[in-house]
Amino acid sequence: AAAAAAAAAPESRCSLSTATAVPNLPNLPPTSSIEGLVDHQPYLACSMPGRRLKVAVLLSGGVDSSVALRLLHAAGHACTAFYLKIWFQEDFENFWSECPWDEDLKYAKAVCDQVDVPLEVVHLTDEYWNNVVSHIISEYRCGRTPNPDVLCNTRIKFGAFLDAIESMDFDYVASGHYAHIVHPSSDRKEFSILKLSNDMVKDQTYFLSHLSQSQLRRLLFPLGCLSKDEVRRLATLMDLPNKDRKDSQGICFLGKVKFSEFVAKHIGEMEGILLEAETGDFLGKHRGFWFYTIGQRQGLRLPGGPWYVVAKDVQNNVVFVSRNYFSLDKRRRMFRVGSLKWVTGSPPENSDQFRCKVRHGPGFYHCTLTIGLSEEVQEEEAVVCLAEDDQGLAAGQFAAFYHENTCIGSGVILESWDDQAFPICRRALDIAKMADKSKLGQPVKIMNRDIDSKSSAEARDKPAPCAAVHAKKKRVGATGFAPASGFGIWWRNLRHKILKLF
């Protein structure tokens, strides 16, 4: 591969054009060269063939973005590739022996050299830190689980990067995302629409669901018409230098660094205690509640398991665990979302015929939306009721909403709940609030689980009635609706009505 380019990126402005609908594609053309694609227009349907556009292409060095670049080039567009440098290699110099982004950049340069496409390097490390990484750290400190991919798309790839090239005369900005955008043909008053790709497994509209209309109007996704298998076959047909590279996994700016290592470095460690939820028994110590998520099984290092994280006391840095992870807290269907952003800029009129994704993947839930205004923070929020229970609802993650095959917007999950939560006994809650936990002494000796005997919680004298860390409680400030407020009373009555429907 050729040596990496090191030029800083100039700046850009985009104008609007049209896109076609996603067709049903035939088999790949039986040809040994990429020129054969020109005679098979369906493969270029998401690349606006037949027009001479000036396109800025985000190129990562991976297969997807490389195929996207070649498709746009085959469609006759004037392309300039841009590689975004956001690595934090100076923070993790002890974790690798070579520059983590050097290989990606070499592959990107080699792909561009095949078709004489210029490549620019845009340095956005500071922007990424200020807009994504610092937010991730803040959210984890608060006990929430953010989604860096959604933030990266919204704030960096199609945020800071668009700002960086604002002064240049690009018609569109393209990437290798699996999604499809239908732009208005001529009427500027019409909206650009974000639609599902042809590959439901690889579809990435969930990660793009928080983009604004002004961002969507400037984007182009050539892979929206293709499946992952077709993209791989095209990479071979094109004889791309990176045709055999595996897809990247994990958080994009970490590379080979484990997320726990990143958390330890930038958030730090704070020793806390592990308590059994049913008994309050002191089982051991942990490095900080932010290393654990609800439902987590790995990394607890407790004998006699399996053990699961069932609740966290963020204020007191206590993690509650149990060997009985079967409660309603594992499966919930109702949750509240904030930071709502709609593709058209306005909430949908009918809110009872939608589908929802609570994570990346092919799975959808039918859902209803009840949209209102929080009196505490004067921000639009919504209560979502899924048609089925879900066992992975996590505060800080995004929920994306769809009408048929169109993504209409998304919001951040603030909390999920049901009529019950995992029961934390009174003794455990009292111990969690102890100012001096050194008085607890040594952890109890954990006995192997005996499925034929009663649990240790039942063997002891019964604790006071169980409370719940996630039980309904008064919400104040930016945390949401206060039950004493008009909206809180409205929501409480609505919730009971909704529950009767299922």
pLDDT of residue 397: 93
Estimate to the nearest angstrom the gap between the alpha carbon of 231 and the chain centroid.
Answer: 23
Report if residue 11 sits inside a domain: no
For residues 284-300, give the mean pLDDT. 87
Q: Are residues 191 and 177 both part of a single domain?
A: yes
Higher pLDDT, 40 or 141: 141
3-state DSSP assignment of residue 490: helix
Structural domain containing residue 373: 328-419+473-499
Q: Are residues 167 and 223 both part of a single domain?
A: yes
pLDDT tens digits for 272-290? 999 999 999 999 999 899 8
Q: Are residues 151 and 170 both part of a single domain?
A: yes
Q: Are residues 435 and 345 both part of a single domain?
A: no
Q: Are residues 200 and 180 both part of a single domain?
A: yes
Number of domains composing the chain: 3
pLDDT tens digits for 252-266? 555 556 666 777 777
Report if residue 20 sits inside a domain: no
C-alpha dihedral over 493, 478, 206, 356, to 10 degrees?
0
Estimate to the nearest angstrom the gap between the alpha carbon of 6 and the chain centroid.
Answer: 30
The amino acid at residue 217 is R
pLDDT of residue 360: 92
Report if residue 9 sits inside a domain: no
Q: Are residues 426 and 277 both part of a single domain?
A: yes
Q: Are residues 396 and 431 both part of a single domain?
A: no
Of 179, 154, 176, 150, the C-alpha closest to 55 is: 176
Of 449, 439, 383, the C-alpha closest to 414 is: 383
pLDDT of residue 463: 38
Question: CA torsion sign, 68 to 74 to 79 to 82?
Answer: positive
Q: Which of 147-156, 332-341, 347-356 has the lowest mean pLDDT?
A: 347-356
For residues 148-170, give the mean pLDDT. 95
How many helices, marked H, and strands, marked E, lie in the chain?
13, 17
Average pLDDT over the chain, rounded to an integer: 78
pLDDT tens digits for 437-481? 988 989 988 877 654 334 444 433 343 333 333 333 333 333 333
Of 424, 173, 378, the C-alpha closest to 275 is: 424
Higher pLDDT, 300 or 26: 300
Report if residue 137 sits inside a domain: yes
pLDDT of residue 267: 80
pLDDT of residue 353: 80
Higher pLDDT, 256 or 45: 45
Q: Are residues 351 and 279 both part of a single domain?
A: no
Estimate to the nearest angstrom the gap between the alpha carbon of 215 and the chain centroid.
Answer: 18
Q: Is the pLDDT of residue 188 over 90?
A: no
Question: What confidence category does residue 41 fall into, taking pLDDT thresholds of 50, 70 and 90?
Answer: low
Distance CA 59, CA 62 (A): 8
CB neighbours of residue 208 within 10 Å: 28
Confidence (pTM): 0.75
Q: Are residues 199 and 145 both part of a single domain?
A: yes
Q: Are residues 317 and 372 both part of a single domain?
A: no
Instruction: Calculate ∠ Cα 361-175-133, nearest 5°.
Output: 70
Report if residue 89 sits inside a domain: yes
- Tell me if 277 sits within 8 A of 311, measured CB to CB: yes
Q: Are residues 92 and 42 both part of a single domain?
A: yes
For residues 298-321, give the mean pLDDT. 90
Distance CA 55, CA 81 (A): 9
pLDDT of residue 291: 87
Report if residue 355 sits inside a domain: yes
- Three-state SS annotation for 112-158: HHHCCCCEEEEECHHHHHHHHHHHHHHHHHCCCCCCHHHHHHHHHHH
Question: What confidence category does residue 24 fall into, taking pLDDT thresholds of 50, 70 and 90?
Answer: very low
Report if residue 254 sits inside a domain: no
Q: Is the pLDDT of residue 498 over 80?
A: no
- Tell me if 330 sits within 8 A of 295, measured CB to CB: yes
CATH at 137: 3.40.50.620
The catalytic residues are 152, 252
Q: Are residues 335 and 368 both part of a single domain?
A: yes
CATH at 374: 2.40.30.10
pLDDT tens digits for 385-414? 999 888 778 889 999 999 999 999 999 999
Report if residue 301 sits inside a domain: yes
